[in-house]
Structure 1
Amino acid sequence: MLILLAAAAFGFTRLGDAFFPETTRAQFQIDVWLPEGTQIYETERTIQQIEDYIRTLDHVTDIASAIGRGMPRFLLSYTPKSLNASYAYLLVSVDDYQHINSLKQQLQTDLETRFSDIVPVVYKFNFGPGHFAATPIEARFNGPDKKVLRKLAEQAMTIMHEDGGIVGIQHDWRGMAKAYRPILNEVPAQNLGIDRRAVANVLASAFDGSTVGVYRENDELIPIVARAPQNERINGLSEIQNLWIWSPIAGQNIPLQQVMLGYKTFFEDGQIRRFDRKRAITVLGAPATEMASTALARIRPQIEAIELPIGYSLKWAGEIKDSRESLESVLVPFPMFMVLMLLITIFLFNALRPALIIWLCVPLAIIGVVSGLLVADQPLNFVAVLGLLSLTGMLIKNAIVLLDQIELEIQSGKSRFEAIVDSGVSRARPVMMAAMTTVLGMIPLVFDAFFAAMAVTIMTGLTFAAVLTLVVVPVLYSLFYHVKPNERTLKPEKKTLAAVSNYQ
């Protein structure tokens, strides 16, 4: 028995660890990130090329895309991305969800090969939170200096790239965006009554447009943007010299270049994120073919070995953070309830030894659980843990039934050895029938994507533990009460048979 428990403990380390299972929805998602600062028109052209390629693949039925942001929240577990001109979201429908895994791997490889300047992430829907569905591996660095944070993020990204099993690698600050800053010629500008704000408005109208008002529709405020017609918009710095600006002193439009000295080109952070009011940069990644926990186990020691300057810290976010917080909410009160259940069993038998016998049988479920999950190729996810916790009460019930029958047999006048043997024989059918009915009731859930791991946990754990309970409980009873095979039959005592027996 100890060997089986040791083997189960080793098998526990071989189980996959996932927060929530994937769905059987006949759709999958693609996040496409172009270089930071990409115009939305260029993003649209790239997505059109990607859509044309995806339509040539087998089993693909429909494609829907959103440029510059995610789609409206069409599913509870879907979290749309915020506005970004260099981002696009694709929703791909297939004729059968069983083809998604092969399409996912093919698309991830082909997109990285055909479009070298994008960061694609192809991923499935799952039942859990959607904010980390695309990139469940997240390493967050906190600190004051932007350059140091970017350097730390680059080191972590290098480790992920060298691993070879992680895709969609980037950080949430993304690349530096190219920017231009006009240099105002102060003297001519003042003589013409032109200030920096007027220049900024002209440039904004020529490029992205300027907000001139707000339109209210019910409870929604829609900005009114003034923008030059398509044929009058400028496409580069070389065309800025063709812009005109109104001079209140001259009373007419004048060329913008009369009040400009030139332009300064520089690179700046397109976005800076904070967490707990501190600057934080998060390195993102997704496993190519395996579970996130498996890929994370490989790279975590290397990333945590990165030397952090004073005032900087590393925290793991994503799936590992949400999984840990969810399990803590369940497991933190668990010891208190375990102690309460132990006290109930002690009060039930009015003795300590029967309670110890019962609780020594509980770990037997681990043997069946690990074996079942490995054979069924199911991960130890959140619902599997709930199934494992529910097994405790079922196993305690079986042990109580057997111990109570042993006491009833002893009170009828049998020797303790005979009582143990007869009780095991007489209680075998009720115990196995109770386990069998539970197992049969769980069979439909085995084919459900969400409850499959929980069903396998309960079915295999209960079946294996029920059989072992009929063997282990009599053995432990014999050891705790020093029962000998040659004990003589005792005379029956005048006691009232009751479910609650005195073992003192």
Structure 2
Amino acid sequence: FFIRLKNARERGIEEVMSDVRARVEQTVPGLEIEMAQLMEDLIGDLTAVPQPIEIKLYSDDGALLQSTAKRVAAAIGKIPGVVDVLSGIVLAGDGLIIQVDRAKAGLEGMDPDAVTQAVAGLLAGSSATTRVESGPKLIPIRAWIPQSARATADAIAGLRLRAPDGHFFPLQRVVTLTAVAGQPQINRDDLKRMLAVTGRISGRDLGSTIRDVQAVLLHPGLVPRGIYYQLGGTYAEQKQAFAGLIAVFAGAVALVFLLLLVLYRSFQTSVAMLLTTLLALSAVTIGLWITGTELNISSMMGMTMIVGIATEVAIFYVSELVTLPADLPPEEALIRAGVNRMRPIAMTTVAAILALLPLALGLGAGSAMQQPLAIAIISGLVLQLPLVLLVLPVLLSLQSGAAARAQH
């Protein structure tokens, strides 16, 4: 079901989802439900990782794998903030195990492989080499026994097989049939049998929740020998994305520094401007900490954008500084450049903050996905104004004072 929330509401999305989940569990005990935001679910489907928490358990022992998956699901379900926990066991329906008796098959003149191939041909059908032309396509022909002849265990037991010498005998004469109820679906990852225990997060950040999950998995006896696990889901995807974003961030800083060197041909001026930009990044972490927002991919993108925004504002100031008359004293030139550029810098900063404020407050549909980005940018913008107008002139004055002392 898709539920659209009212625009004028007093509670947040996570609070509403928690309330709905609690009411459903109280009203219909035993019913398992899963809830997610629309954009979160769409992104999860596109990346093939729909769950924030995913614990992949690997083992060749199917029974041990199922019992361990149930214990792990029960253990992480007790972690605060972890909801919608699923063991990953999907019942595919009833099954029928057909075990060939080698001795009885030998009495009929057949070996187990021949019996297996004959039964597979009767139950799954056999493709003929002849194909029927239907327009531009060639349709294969599959020979298959009627549905009624393979619908029940008794019907399968009565299937007649043909021996090499030409005589027919019933299947039940050489095999043992065992009915299995609730046969689980078999999943494999890299040719290894796997079950994925999944869960969602409500009211907590991903980092602290994953740390609690890792601590629970280290409890003795929870994951026995013969089974190894691997963390997947959004955590694995975000970990990989963080490595890429860090490389992008380092590349952005390096390119900005090269750009400043080309523009002003002064190593000291470029370092002072870049230092001002990096100091603005400290406001991002402070803003995320004050608002209780987690450091995720969206907020990392905001930090990368602050590098460009703060550098642009610093360029405004320095460009004004270099256009002033050369006969002005250095201190007076720094102050006049700040006075001349204070109004456009302030107007640009305030306009950007006002434009991002609805996203930072989480107003409107889908704003929760971009809220960390807006908070990170606004935090950097708030600090970059005094940094450019106060700290950058101080750094440049220190540079000019050192140059004057060197000439003297």
TM-score in terms of structure 2 length = 0.69
Write the distance in 2 (CA, Å) between the matches of 1:151 and 1:283. 12
**Cα–Cα, structure 1 residues 411 and 271, in superposed 2: closer, same or farther, change >3 Å?**
same
CA shift at 1:389, angstroms? 0.9
Alignment of 1:59-458 (within 5 A): 92-96=1-5, 102=16, 105-107=19-21, 110-111=24-25, 114=28, 116=30, 119-125=32-38, 126=40, 127-130=42-45, 134-142=50-58, 153=69, 156-172=72-88, 180-182=96-98, 196=115, 200=119, 210-211=124-125, 228=147, 234=152, 240=154, 244-246=158-160, 259=173, 263-264=177-178, 270-304=184-218, 314-370=229-285, 372-373=287-288, 379-409=294-324, 411-413=326-328, 415-442=329-356, 447=364, 449=367, 450-458=369-377
- Between the aligned partners of 2:23 and 2:380, the Cα distance in structure 1 is 40
Instruction: State whether residues 212 and 226 of structure 1, in contact with CA within 8 Å, keep that contact through their aligned partners in structure 2.
Output: no
Letter matched to residue 5 of structure 2:
D
Q: Tell me whether 1:466 sits opposite 2:385 in the alignment.
A: yes
| Distance in 1 of aligned mates of 2:99 and 2:194 | 32
Distance 2:195 2:270 in 1: 52
Cα deviation, 1:19-76, whole Å, max 9, x if unaligned, reads xxxxxxxxxxxxxxxxxxxxxxxxxxxxxxxxxxxxxxxxxxxxxxxxxxxxxxxxxx
1:278 is displaced (CA, Å) by: 4.1
Q: Could you tell me how far apart the structure 2 residues matched to 1:183 and 1:367 are?
A: 68
Q: Deviations over 1:268-303 (max 9, x none)?
A: 984444434444443322224544444223222332
The answer to which of 138-147 and 175-184 deviates more is 175-184
SS in 2 for 1:162: coil
Computed over aligned residues only, the root mean square deviation of the Cα atoms, in angstroms, reads 5.0
Q: Deviations over 1:192-248 (max 9, x none)?
A: 9998459947995xxxxx546699988798997765469x954xx7xx389744477
Counterpart amino acid of residue 245 in structure 2: V
Structure 2 stretches lacking a partner, 5+ long: none
Report the 3-state secondary structure (helix = DSSP H, G, I; strand = E; otherwise coil) of the residue aligned with 1:138.
Answer: strand
Q: Which amino acid aligns with 1:469?
A: V
What is the alpha-carbon distance in structure 1 between the residues aligned to residue 255 and residue 230 of structure 2? 35
Deviations 1:246-265 (A, max 9, x none): 4779x9999876x3786446
1:55 aligned residue: none
1:136 is displaced (CA, Å) by 1.9
Deviation at 1:428, TM superposition (A): 0.9
How far the C-alpha of 1:470 sits from its partner, in A, is 1.0
Are the structure 2 counterparts of residues 188 and 337 from structure 1 closer, same or farther at C-alpha, using a change threshold of 3 Å? closer
Aligned partners of 2:234, 2:269: CA distance in 1, in Å? Answer: 42
Distance 1:282 1:220 in 2: 40
Q: Secondary structure, in 3 states, of the residue corresponding to 1:139?
A: strand
Query: How many angstroms does 1:305 deviate by?
Result: 6.3
Give, in angstroms, the shift of residue 94 of structure 1.
2.9
Unaligned runs of 5+ in 1: 1-91, 205-209, 488-502
- Return the alpha-carbon distance in structure 1 between the equivalents of residues 34 and 355 of structure 2: 39
CA distance in 2, matches of 1:113, 1:229: 42
**Distance between the aligned counterparts of 2:29 and 2:169, measured in 1?**
44
SS at match of 2:51: coil
* TM-fit CA distance, 1:318: 0.8
One-letter code aligned to 1:124 = Q
Relative distance call for 1:290 and 1:399 in structure 2 (3 A) is same
Distance 2:235 2:302 in 1: 20
Distance, in Å, in 2 between the alignment partners of 1:153 and 1:321 is 19
1:475 to 370, 394, 400: 394
Matched positions, count: 381
Summarize the Cα distance change of 1:262–1:335 in structure 2 as closer, same or farther, 3 Å threshold: closer
Task: Provide the identity percentage.
Answer: 17
Q: Secondary structure at the match of 1:135?
A: coil
